[in-house]
Amino acid sequence: MLKIFRYVSAAVTVAAAAILVGCAGPAPNYAPSIDNVQTLKTSGIEASNVGSIAVAADLSGGRSMGLRASKMLSPVGANFGDYVTQALRQELELAKLYNPKSDFEISGFLLRNNIDAGGISTNEGQIEARFIVKRSGQIRFDKTKRIDHQWESSFAGAVAIPLAANNYPVMVQKLITALVTDPEFIQSLHN
């Protein structure tokens, strides 16, 4: 009886691992950074709107990212540009600095979006975006921000894949940190 239980248990484990490895699933929802929100609150900037962060049709990782045999999709909108747009909007909303009718608008382009789950002991990801601030249609800020992020991982896919997925929101937080701590960005949102 114990042998049968072990065989059934092993079969269930193998089936679960196969499902985890071969499926497409959404990235974790974005969790705003308290530090980013505080930076925005104390910056003295004007409330602003968030336009779209566009993704080029040929951008690898724009619509989905491979995590070994799995694919990760954006849980909001049609692509990861929508994910970054929503993340930035959340940060501004929490800082009480989001106004969809503002003359100021933050938009941009997702230029690089990569996350790796194939490493044995560490994995890494990169995200790069060009951010543009306009006031009444006039460009006041146009700069590219890039983040390289690394974390400890595992050879086992059942460990490495969730670790990679869970580090994507961290990468986006770091990208927004790079933006909101740039003095030129802050200056562009002042009257």
The pLDDT value given to residue 8: 37
Query: Where in the chain does DSSP place strands (E)?
Result: 24-26, 49-55, 64-67, 70-73, 104-115, 122-135, 138-152
The pLDDT value given to residue 22: 52
The pLDDT value given to residue 13: 40
The pLDDT value given to residue 57: 79
The pLDDT value given to residue 155: 83
Q: Which CATH superfamily is domain 2-188 in?
A: ABC-type transport auxiliary lipoprotein component (3.40.50.10610)
Cα-based distances in Å from 11 to 6, 15, 19, 60, 129? 9, 6, 12, 35, 44
The pLDDT value given to residue 188: 98
Cα-based distances in Å from 175 to 43, 49, 171, 178? 18, 18, 6, 5
The pLDDT value given to residue 120: 85
Residue 155 phi, psi dihedral angles, 5° rounding: -65, -35
pLDDT in tens, the chain (191 residues): 545 444 434 433 433 444 344 567 899 999 999 999 999 999 999 999 999 999 987 899 999 999 888 899 999 999 999 999 999 999 999 999 999 999 999 999 999 999 988 888 899 999 999 999 999 999 999 999 999 999 999 888 778 888 999 999 999 999 999 999 999 999 999 98
Angle at alpha carbon of residue 26, lines to 22 and 30, rounded to 5°: 145
Q: CB-based contacts of 42: which residues, under 8 Å, 6+ apart?
A: none
Q: What is the pTM of this model?
A: 0.85
The pLDDT value given to residue 99: 98
Helix intervals (H) in 76-126? 80-94
Q: Where are the domains of the chain?
A: 2-188
Name 74's bridge partners.
none
- Name the burial class of residue 154, with classes exposed (0-12), middle (13-18) and buried (19+) by CB atoms within 10 angstroms of its CB: middle
